[in-house]
Amino acid sequence: MPDEPTKKPFSQQLTAALPSSEAAAKSGASAPSEPPKPVATAPATLATPSSKAATTATSQPEADDDIMAGKRAPKGEDFKRVKHAAAEANKRADELKAKHEAAEKRLAELDKVPKHNAELIKKIEAERDELKAKWQTVEAQYDPGFHAKYDNQIGEAVGKIKDAVPADRLNDLAQVMQMPDGDRKRKILAELTEDMDPPTVTDIMIANREIRDILAARKKELENSGAILKSSAEQRQKQQEERKSAYAKSFDDVLAKAQDGDAASPLYQRREGDDDETKAWNAGISERSAVARKAHFDEFDSAEDKAEFALNAAAYPAALQTIKELQTQLAAVEETVAKMQGTSPGLSAGAKGSAGQKLTFTQRMQQVVQ
């Protein structure tokens, strides 16, 4: 009689049973002649059973433990229970996978559209555009360039009847002719011209039609108020650049006169030489010129700096006059010292020139200023 084959542990039998057909599972396993040896590691399926499998295990609380401990061999219902639990777990996994894929798809769709109420945003944008158009229309009407353009044209039309109508009615007629056409306008014009001769009334009606055409052109241009404001801004920018250029030229011209010529100022005349004193003097001129340029363009760092500069600038003529008076007084003193030197050779009156000639105080002061 052949030897009976060695029985496999329950874990191996379970693994082999899971992929088998349901018919094979129902057939069960024959009772072993001897209990199988216990295995150390439990299958994951038995360690974490599904809810339905857990219910079955409750009815047999020690079934899996007995099998794993080798106290009994697995039976057909054990395989059915485990297979059912595996099928339920796979079903649940498929459901979760489907929900996950649906959520991912929904998230991808949400990422493609704005995270706000598109209809509300569209409504708000329409209101914004409407208000912007109204603001531009009002702003354009009071734009200096646009206003002056049509005011001048209306003034020219009114000027054509200036000599034909009484002076005390000219302004009233000018105001009425700018009113919208209608019964009220015609009634007022009739009252203002009832005592005038036909040729004068004809001239007034011609002026009225001309002003009406001017106002119509004005209204039509206002429909594109954005272009009016843009053109006005460009014109202002151009004027500012031209004004800045003119200011820069005027400053350079005046500075050139202050540094050279009959009207030159000693405080802005540059000196020749490479010594430190000369360099410091010329650097001071550059600094003063830069400060003056900033003042010319009103580029002060603060209102206090501007006030201080204004005070110093206003005091400059008086300070210069005081210096001149002091130079005159000191020149007289120098002359007195020179006379005293003639009687007392040991008395020195001051420095000497490069050729050994003694310099007067006035000459020395001029050297300091220059």
The SS3 of residue 358 is: strand
Most confident segment among 119-128, 324-333, 355-364:
324-333
| pLDDT band, very low/low/confident/very high, at 204 (cuts 50, 70, 90) | very high
* Distance (Å, whole) CA 231 – CA 155: 23
Structure-token match 């202002």, residue found: 236
pLDDT at 284 over 80: yes
Give the number of other CB atoms < 10 A from CB of residue 283.
10
pLDDT digits (tens, 9 = 90+) for 123-137: 888 888 888 778 777
pLDDT at 213 over 90: yes
Instruction: Look at 360 and 205; give whichever has higher pLDDT.
Output: 205
Residue 336 tokens read as 């007195």
Structure-token match 């003193």, residue found: 333
Q: Name the phi and psi angles at 47, rounded to 5.
A: -70, -35
Compute the average pLDDT of residues 146-160: 89
pLDDT at 211 over 90: yes
| pLDDT band, very low/low/confident/very high, at 61 (cuts 50, 70, 90) | very low
Compute the average pLDDT of residues 173-201: 91
**The pLDDT of residue 263:** 76
DSSP class of 224:
T
Query: Whole-number mean pLDDT of the chain?
Result: 76
Model-level pTM? 0.37
Compute the average pLDDT of residues 264-280: 88
The SS3 of residue 352 is: strand
Compute the average pLDDT of residues 233-245: 85
Instruction: Say which range, 83-92, 200-209, 330-339, has the weakest mean pLDDT.
Output: 83-92
Instruction: Say which range, 150-164, 293-307, 356-370, has the weakest mean pLDDT.
Output: 356-370
Compute the average pLDDT of residues 249-257: 89
Instruction: Say which range, 115-119, 130-134, 202-206, 220-224, has the weakest mean pLDDT.
Output: 115-119
DSSP class of 268:
G
**The pLDDT of residue 46:** 40
Contacts of 313 (CB under 8 A, 6+ apart): 295
Structural domain spans, the chain: 10-107, 134-223
| pLDDT band, very low/low/confident/very high, at 82 (cuts 50, 70, 90) | confident
**The pLDDT of residue 203:** 92
Instruction: Count H helices and E strands in the chain, helices first.
Output: 15, 0
pLDDT digits (tens, 9 = 90+) for 10-59: 555 555 554 444 444 444 444 444 444 444 444 444 444 444 444 444 44
Write the burial class of residue 312 (CB in 10 Å: 0-12 exposed, 13-18 middle, 19+ buried). Answer: exposed
> CA nearest 293: which of 243, 262, 263, 254?
254
Q: What sections of 69-196 are H helices per DSSP?
A: 76-112, 118-141, 144-159, 167-177, 183-193
- According to DSSP, the residues that pair with 157 across neighbouring strands are none
- Left if phi > 0, otherwise alpha if psi is -120 to 50, otherwise beta: which for 128? alpha
> CA nearest 251: which of 315, 299, 284?
299
Structure-token match 């944008």, residue found: 125
Looking at this protein, which amino acid is placed at residue 170? Answer: L
Residue 184 tokens read as 């009220």
Residue 45 tokens read as 């399926």
Residue 222 tokens read as 């206002």
